[in-house]
């Protein structure tokens, strides 16, 4: 059985929307999602340096919204693949309990045996990795699938998945619904 590793933040949990919502609740300013395109994650807000602090605030990870269609597609992936949820959660030690509770609430069909919290994803071995960060995908030896997020929207050279529906089309139906972005010729 082929193995898939799936990142949490920015892939299963919509952390970009969480940044936007938390910023609006605290500062009364709603930042448009597309205004964050191409900017490093946690930047692009009117008051720079505020959003990274959210990652250390109790409740941030526990209340993150779910990516559209992720529950349905991952439920089907579990039937066809060996699926592991892998999060570099030890970067934010207070997030461990919140992330586990979030997974148990929203993805109860994923066994605790298949949840991996680590510091570096370079230890991960699988056939496929779905992640939104180059640092994880570039070191991966299997097929790297970049999940589109504002911070990676202009990154080239990876197979790109724009939604969980596209992930399902590719991995469940063998439909090539993903987009390969090649580096531009210099």
Name all domains of the chain by residue range, CATH numbers in brackets: 3-14+66-180 (3.40.50.1000), 15-54 (no CATH)
By DSSP bridging, strand 179-180 and strand 159-161 are antiparallel
Residue-wise pLDDT for 55-71, tens only, equals 999 999 999 999 999 99
Residue 183 pLDDT > 50 = no
Residue 5 predicted with pLDDT over 80: yes
Region 67-79 average pLDDT: 98
Average per-residue pLDDT for the chain = 93
Choice among 7, 14, 131, 132 that is catalytic:
7
The whole-number pLDDT of residue 140 equals 96
- The yes-or-no answer on residue 7 being catalytic is yes
Q: What is the pLDDT of residues 80-128, one digit of tens each?
A: 999 999 999 998 988 999 999 999 999 999 999 999 999 999 999 999 9
Please indicate whether residue 131 is annotated as part of the active site: no
Q: How confident is the model at residue 174 (pLDDT cuts 50, 70, 90)?
A: confident
pLDDT at position 178 is: 47
Does the pLDDT value for residue 158 go beyond 80? yes
């Amino acid at each position: 059985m082929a193995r898939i590793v799936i990142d949490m933040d920015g892939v299963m949990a919509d952390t970009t929307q969480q940044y936007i919502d938390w910023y609006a609740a605290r500062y009364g300013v709603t930042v448009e999602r597309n205004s964050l395109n191409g900017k490093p994650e946690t930047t692009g807000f009117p008051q720079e340096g505020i959003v990274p602090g959210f990652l250390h605030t109790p409740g941030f990870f526990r209340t993150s919204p779910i990516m559209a269609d992720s529950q349905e597609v991952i439920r089907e992936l579990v039937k066809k693949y060996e699926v592991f949820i892998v999060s570099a959660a030890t970067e934010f030690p207070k997030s461990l309990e919140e992330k586990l509770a979030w997974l148990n609430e929203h993805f109860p069909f994923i066994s605790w045996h298949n949840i991996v919290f680590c510091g570096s994803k370079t230890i991960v071995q699988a056939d496929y990795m779905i992640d939104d960060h180059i640092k994880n995908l570039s070191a991966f030896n299997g097929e790297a699938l970049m999940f589109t997020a504002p911070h990676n929207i202009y990154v080239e050279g990876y197979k790109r998945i724009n939604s969980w529906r596209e992930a399902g089309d590719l991995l469940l139906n063998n439909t090539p619904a993903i987009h390969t972005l090649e580096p531009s010729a210099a």
